[in-house]
Structure 1
Amino acid sequence: MTVSDPGINLVLGPVILGIIVNTFVYGILFMQGVTYYTSSRFKQDRPLIKGLVTWSLSLDTFHSCAVILVVWEYCIEHFGDQAFLETTPWPYPTSPIFTTSTSVPIQVYLAYRVKRLSKSWAIFGGITALSVTSGIIAWISSIRAVRLSDTKEFPALIPIVDTWLALSALCDVSLTILLFIFLRRGRTGFSKTDNIITTLILQSIETAAFSSLTALMNLITFTVIQKTNFHFIFSLLAGRMYTNTLLATLNSRDKLRADILVDGANTLTSPPSHGVAVHVSVEHREDDGTEMEDYTKRNPQKARGLDTYYV
């Protein structure tokens, strides 16, 4: 095999492209981290939220630096070494460990947000179990991959890796759909309040959809084009996307809270769009890094109880 061999292009090309894209996304992520740590909300958040952000950013930083070693090994240290192309530097097979060490805590956090909306511990437990199971399988596949000395043996890992990716994708898609469903159910009939709910829906979908799409593309490329490294692009991005989802959610709270305060106050004096009298009470909670807005519908025939919205 020569350096100009198309096979090498399919092996090294996606790896280099993936690392370049990953480095770019990490730069954006780093700036989001700076925004969070310098915001007034950082001091108000619970230690658990602060710890989750620090944990995720630390893993992303270490992993982003580690994968650069892959380029160094392939393109500098062992340039033109055909035999080395059949080996894998340690950052490559350990990527699932780094990814799930980030994704599982964030998926559990998002599942808790769904629980706050749905009031259902069953949904929270189901999503959490799905996430933890995918994480365990990812660790098993990664440990087995590290023990393999030749990339020719990797096809034996395809079933277990596919299982991990499928469960992870299912978890992400489920979270996106559930957030959409329960946020949409929270519409009150007040035009300004519903605009806030629409903003919450769009934000939730935009942030969660990126991680869902990345997980799906990782599964598709790994399964369909197994003889290339195109899946490596999405495998690297997965961890960054989860942290991006977390930080985008946390950093948007001040703006949404201001909108809730302004529109919530206006709504008290505005007639409802459906002609039914509604009492609106706003409650802000900062004990877990979220805010809730409770709208109680007092029409006996249309009341659905207490609806909770949070960021």
Structure 2
Amino acid sequence: MSTTPEDVKLLLGPIYIGTILSTGLFGICAAQFTNYFISARRHSDSPTIHALVLWEFFLSIFCAIVSVYFVWLYLVENYFNPAFLASAPWPLTAVPMLSGLSACPVQIFMAYRVLRLSNSRFLFVLLLSLTIANGGIAFATSVLAFGLTFDEGSRLTPVADSWLAITVTNDLAVTLLLIFYLHRSRTGFNKTDTVIARLIRSALESAAFATFFSIMVLVMFTVFPRTGFHLMFSQPMGRIYTSTLLSTLNGREALRHDLRGTYDLGETVNVERFNLRPTNNRDTAVAVKITVENQTDEGSNRFEHKSTGSGSAV
């Protein structure tokens, strides 16, 4: 690889920008981690959710350290070593694997949300298969990249393109399915539909960022394989998935607050007691206990409402 100033810019410039984006997103994720760990809602989460959050937490710290070390290798440790620009150090080759380690657990979590909404095991298995393929090819891309020089990285274009294409397909499939089933859950009641609209908007926003970064990595790696342009987007890509997970978990309390006091009689309504107590008058006292369950993608919210009144016995 030549070492002209232009070539240095095309490699080190994107690495520098990618590191800034990655560490900046880590700061956002750190704030989201803090909000989750101090929230009361965390105590009712399952051990699986706790393990997932801790996994993303420690992986985010490791990736932030790797990003800073990436810049250190080029700009400090090998500042007077132009030949190093032709190499592919392990922080560079590990980028696909680290992205897959962050993205795949979140994609499984999102696939489970689709399962909760749709009750379709077929869709869940389909999304799970895409996630497994995504993780496997991401890992294979990193393994095949070890030992290659920077100029030889273009040989991995078919493998890397397969990884990124599956990632985009998985993200779009999850987003479209969530939007479809959330839209189908609309009840016609103002508060409930407002919450559903917020969930749909959140799904769109999360998918837009993840899909944009995946497409940009795909385009840059395919069109400009001998530059570092793809690193501007591949380095921070894992933090996009981490932020998606945390924003979903941290947003549940606000959604439950919006649903509080909402009675959607279009959902499951159980009349558990209906007592008629005749009196001397023509009117009859009616005691009614109504249990309303609002089913969302986050679980079932159960409200009870008692009303007692008098009406005409027919």
Alignment TM-score > 0.5, same fold:
yes
**2:281 alignment counterpart:** none
Indicate if the aligned counterparts of 2:172 and 2:211 stay in contact, CA closer than 8 A: yes
AA aligned opposite 1:290:
E
Determine helix, strand or coil for the equivalent of 1:281.
strand
Contact 1:268 1:280 in 2 (8 A): no
Q: Superposition pairs for residues 193-212 of structure 1, below 5 Å?
A: 193-212=192-211
Counterparts of 1:1-311 in structure 2 under 5 Å?
5-148=5-148, 150-262=149-261, 264-265=262-263, 267=264, 281-283=292-294, 290-292=298-300
Question: How many angstroms does 1:19 deviate by?
Answer: 0.1
Query: Aligned pair in 2 of structure 1 residues 10, 280: CA closer, same or farther (>3 Å)?
Result: farther
Question: For residue 175 of structure 2, what is the amino acid of its counterpart?
Answer: T
Report if the CA contact (8 A) 2:150-2:226 is conserved: no
Separation in structure 2 between the aligned mates of residue 96 and residue 189 of structure 1, nearest angstrom: 44
Structure 1: which 4+ aligned runs deviate by more than 3 Å? Answer: 1-4
TM-score w.r.t. structure 1 length?
0.85
- Matched with 1:300 is none
Give the conservation status (yes or no) of the 8 Å contact 1:3–1:80.
no
- In the TM superposition, residue 281 of structure 1 has moved relative to its aligned partner by 2.3
CA contact (8 A) 1:100 1:239 kept: yes
Deviations 1:10-60 (A, max 9, x none): 110000010011111100100100110111011111010010011011111
CA contact (8 A) 1:93 1:146 kept: yes
Q: Distance in 1 between matches of 2:176 and 2:41?
A: 28
RMSD, matched Cα = 2.3
Instruction: Specify the code of the residue in structure 1 equivalent to 2:174.
Output: L
* Equivalent residues of 1:26, 1:240 under 8 A apart: yes
| Superposed displacement of residue 4, structure 1 | 6.6
CA distance in 2, matches of 1:209, 1:47: 29
Alpha-carbon spacing, 1:280–1:5, altered in 2? closer, same or farther (3 Å) = farther
The gaps in structure 1 that reach 5 residues or longer are 270-278, 295-311
What amino acid is the match of 2:96?
A: P
CA contact (8 A) 1:97 1:139 kept: yes
- Is 1:103–1:239's contact at 8 Å kept on the other side of the alignment? yes
What one-letter code is carried by the residue in structure 1 that aligns with 2:140? I
- State how far apart, in whole Å, the 2-side matches of 1:281 and 1:208 are: 32
Higher share of residues assigned strand: 2
Deviation of 1:238 after TM superposition, in Å, equals 1.2
> What does the per-residue CA deviation read over 1:151-193, in whole Å, with 9 as the maximum and x for residues that have no partner?
2221111111110111011101111111111111111112222
SS in 1 for 2:122: helix
The one-letter code matched in structure 2 to 1:91 is P
Q: Flag the 1:15–1:184 CA change in 2: closer, same or farther, 3 A.
A: same
Question: Which one is further off, 221-230 or 10-19?
Answer: 221-230
**Counterpart amino acid of residue 77 in structure 1:** E
Q: 1:282 to 1:237 in 2, by over 3 A?
A: same
Summarize deviations over 1:109-147 as a string: whole Å, max 9, x none. Answer: 100101111111111100110111111011111011113
1:54-88 deviations in whole A, cap 9, x for unaligned? 10111111011012111111111111422100012
Confirm or deny: 8 A CA contact 1:2 1:80 kept in the other structure. Answer: no
CA distance in 2 between counterparts of 1:196 and 1:292 reads 14
Q: Once the two structures are superposed, what CA deviation does each residue of 1:222-255 show, in whole Å capped at 9, x if it has no partner?
A: 1122221111111111110001000000001111
Closer/same/farther in 2, CA of residues 76 and 2 from structure 1, 3 Å limit = farther
**Identity rate, percent:** 37
Once the two structures are overlaid, the 10-residue window that deviates more, 120-129 or 224-233, is 224-233
- Structure 2 contact 22–67 (Cα < 8 Å) conserved: no
- Counterparts of 1:203 and 1:7 in 2: how far apart (Å)? 40
Structure 2, unmatched stretches of 5+, are 267-289, 303-314
The count of aligned residue pairs is: 280
> For residues 292 and 220 of structure 1, what CA distance do their matches in structure 2 show?
42
Given that 1:176 and 1:209 are in contact with CA atoms closer than 8 Å, whether structure 2 keeps it comes out as no
Out of 121-130 and 198-207, give the one that drifted further.
198-207
